Amino acid sequence: MDSGERRRVGLIYDKRMKKHFDLEEVKHPESADRIQKIWNKLKDSGIAKRCTVMGGKEAKDEHISLVHNRKHIDFIKSISSKEEMFWKEMAKKYNSVYFNQGSSEAAYISAGCVIEVAEKVAEGELDSAFAIVRPPGHHAEPNQPMGFCLFNNVAIATKYLLDKRADLGIKKILIVDWDVHHGNGTQKMFWKDPRVLFFSVHRHDFGTYYPCDEAGSHKMTGEGAGKGYNINVPWEHGGCGDADYLAVWDHVLIPVAKEFGPDIILISAGFDAAIGDPLGGCCVSPHGYAVMLNKLLEFAGGKIVMALEGGYDKVSIANSVQACMEVLLKQKPIIGSSEAYPFESSWRVIRAVRKTLSPFWQSLSERLPVKITSMSSPYIQVVSSDSEDEYNTFSNRVSQHLEMDIENVIQPFSDLKVNDDTGITSQASNNSHTWREELSKIDIWYATFGSNMKLSRFLCYIEGGQVEGMRKPCIGSLDKSKPKEIKWESFPHRLFFAREHTATWGPGGVAFLHPECNSDEKAYLCLYRITLEQFNDVLLQENTSSFDMNYPLFDMTDLQSIEERKCVPVEAVKNGWYHNVLYLGKENGIPILTMTCQLSDVDNFKSGKVGMCKPSKEYANTLIRGLVEGKQLSEEEATTYIQEAASRAL
C-alpha cells in the first residue's frame, strides 16, 4: 500500500452513549467522560476533519441475536423502562455492571456503531474505521452482561459480516483483543469457529486478575473445528509495556496472521494497558499502540475496524486513540525499532504460547530469533494492594508531557541474553536466585497494624488469594511457608486512617502507623516471624506487583543499617503508600520491622493535600476480628480502639 495514499478512514461517535452512567458511584472508571475526551482530542487535533464522521444508529435484535440469546436481549432492552430499585438489584446480580435509564439505548447504539463501520470497511467504502463506543463489549457473554459490558459489540459485527453479509466475500476474520483484561465473552462466542482467529493478550496473573478464571490461559485453544483458532497470551503480572507487546506481535501474532490470511481485522481496542491507567497496571505508550496497529495494516489490505473497549485514564486513552488514528490516516511515519526486549516472565509466556499452538501453526514451531534488542519494561505501580487507589493513583502521576515520560522510563537492560535451547538466561535471573537463597536464611519479625493483624488476611500475602471483604486477590510469596511464630506487642506509635479509596477494600481509608514514636500513644501490632525473603515479597505486594524481583527491595545492607537509621524508604517502590520500612526494636534478638508512610506523607495528610477518611465497614471489621482473634481486646474494646483511631485528628 502506498504510504502517500490518502486513506478513507471512518470515525463514528454518538453522544447518546453518554446517557449510560452509574447512579451511585460518580467516579466509576467506565464513565461517559471517556468517549467525550477522545472525541474532543480528535476534533482539537484536526484528525476528525480528515475522517468520514458518522453518527450512530441502534443495532437490530436479529443481528444481536447472532451471538446473544433471546433472554439476554430482552433484558437489556427492558432496562430503561424499569426503576432505580430494579437497576440496583440487577447490578448486584451480575458481575461488575451498572444500569440506568440510558443503558438500553447506549448498548444498542454501541453495537450498532461497530456493525455500521465494519460493514462499510468490508464493502470497501472505507479503508478502515474507529468506533468511539461505550458501553464496551468483550466481557459480555451469550447470556449475561459483565465487566462493564452489556452487548458484545465486536462479536456481533463479526458474526454479521460472516453470516448476514456473505456477499461481501469476508470468509476469515482476525479479532485482536489488546484490552488489558481477557476477552472472555468473545472467546466463548467463537470457541468452535475456524472462520475467526481470536487473539487476546492480557493480564492473567495466574488466574487472579479479572475475570479471575482460567479461561484466559494459553492452554485454552478452542474446540472441534475451532481448535487452534483461540490464542491467549496471559501476562503473569502488571508492568508490561511496549517491549512485551511488540515481542508478542513479532513472535506470535504476526507469524500466525500471515498463515491465517484474514479478509478483515477487528480490534477490541481497550487502552487500559496504557501508561497511567488506574485499573490495568501496565505501561504501553501511545507510540507502542501505533507500532502494534501499523504492523496489522499489512494484512487484509489494511481493512481494520477498531472498537473501543476499556481504558480509564482520560488523558492516556485520548493520546493512545489519537496515535492510532494517525496510523490509520497514514498521517505520520512510524519511527522506531520493532525489536524489543520484554520481562523475563514475558518471554516465558511467549515460549509457552508458541509451544501450545505449534501443532496448529507451522510458524510457531520455529526457534525464536537470537538477536533481540535488550530493553526492559519500566516499573509502574499497579492495582494490587491496600497501597493503591483504584481510580486515582495512576492519573495523578501522568504528566502532560507523556512522550517525555515514556522516553525517560524505557531503559536498556544490556545484561540479558537469549539462549537458543533454554530461552532466556540472564545475570539478573542468577541474581534473583542468589538473593533469595541468602535472605531465606534470615528471620525478621514483621509487625502489622492494619488488616494483616488478622492471620487469614496476612496469609493472602504468603499463600495468595483473598478473604471476605477484599475486592482483589493477592499473588502471594514465592516461599509460601507460614510464619514460624506469632506474637502481639504494643508500641508507642499513633494508628490513624488515611486515603479515600483502595483497590482491595473499595471506598474508605486504610491504616497507617505514624513513623515517629510518641509515649502518649499505644498501637497494637501483630508480629509474624518470617524470612527476609518473604518480607520482600510482602513489601512488594503492599506497594506494587509489577517490579521484576531480580534484586531485593530491602537487602542485608538495609537490615544492618536500619537499627541506627530507624527507617529505610525503599526507592524502587517509592510511589507505594507503604514503602517506608520502620524499625521498632528487637524481640529475642530478631529485628522487628513494619512498613508505613513517610513523615512527608503525614504532613500531606495534616494539610489536607491528601485525604483522610474513616475505614469502610469491611476493612474495619477485619481489623477488629484480628484484634479479637489475637486475644488482645474484646470486640467492644477493639471497635472503640478503631473508631478512636479513625476519628482523632493528626
What are the catalytic residues?
139
Residue 394 to residue 275: CA distance in whole angstroms: 8
Q: In the 8-state DSSP scheme, what is residue 3?
A: T
CA 91, 94, 98, 99 torsion-angle sign: negative
Helix segments in 219-313, DSSP class H? 242-248, 254-260, 286-296
Q: Is residue 644 exposed (0-12), middle (13-18) or buried (19+ Cβ within 10 Å)? A: exposed
Residue 53 to residue 62: CA distance in whole angstroms: 26
CB 159 within 8 A of CB 135: no
Contacts of 616 (CB under 8 A, 6+ apart): 505, 506, 507, 508
Residues in the chain: 650
Residue 55 to residue 281: CA distance in whole angstroms: 33
With CA atoms as reference, report the closest residue to 90 among 146, 34, 43, 138: 146
Q: What are the Cα distances from residue 254, in Å, to 245, 266, 294, 537?
A: 12, 15, 11, 36
Helix segments in 194-253, DSSP class H? 242-248
CB 174 within 8 A of CB 300: yes
Residue 139 to residue 188: CA distance in whole angstroms: 10
- The single-letter code of the amino acid at 517 is C
At CA 565, angle to CA 559 and CA 569, rounded to 5? 75
3-state secondary structure of 91: helix
Alpha carbon dihedral 306, 309, 312, 317, in 10-degree steps, equals 0
Residue 463 to residue 479: CA distance in whole angstroms: 8
3-state secondary structure of 424: strand
The Cβ of residue 18 has, within 10 Å, a number of other Cβ atoms equal to: 17
Q: In the 8-state DSSP scheme, what is residue 253?
A: I
β 264-269/304-308 pair status: parallel
CB 163 within 8 A of CB 66: yes
CB 344 within 8 A of CB 433: no
CB 451 within 8 A of CB 457: yes
CA 386, 387, 392, 398 torsion-angle sign: negative
Residue 639 to residue 382: CA distance in whole angstroms: 32
Please provide residue 211's backbone torsions phi and psi, each rounded to the nearest 5 degrees.
Answer: -80, 10
Quick one: cell of 410?
Answer: 524505557
The Cβ of residue 348 has, within 10 Å, a number of other Cβ atoms equal to: 14
Q: With residue 48 as reference, give the H or E element that holds it.
A: none
With CA atoms as reference, report the closest residue to 247 among 136, 413, 399, 428: 413
3-state secondary structure of 346: helix
Contacts of 529 (CB under 8 A, 6+ apart): 443, 444, 445, 446, 483, 484, 485, 486, 487, 590
Query: 29: cis peptide before it, omega within 30°?
Result: no
The Cβ of residue 46 has, within 10 Å, a number of other Cβ atoms equal to: 9
Residue 387 to residue 597: CA distance in whole angstroms: 10
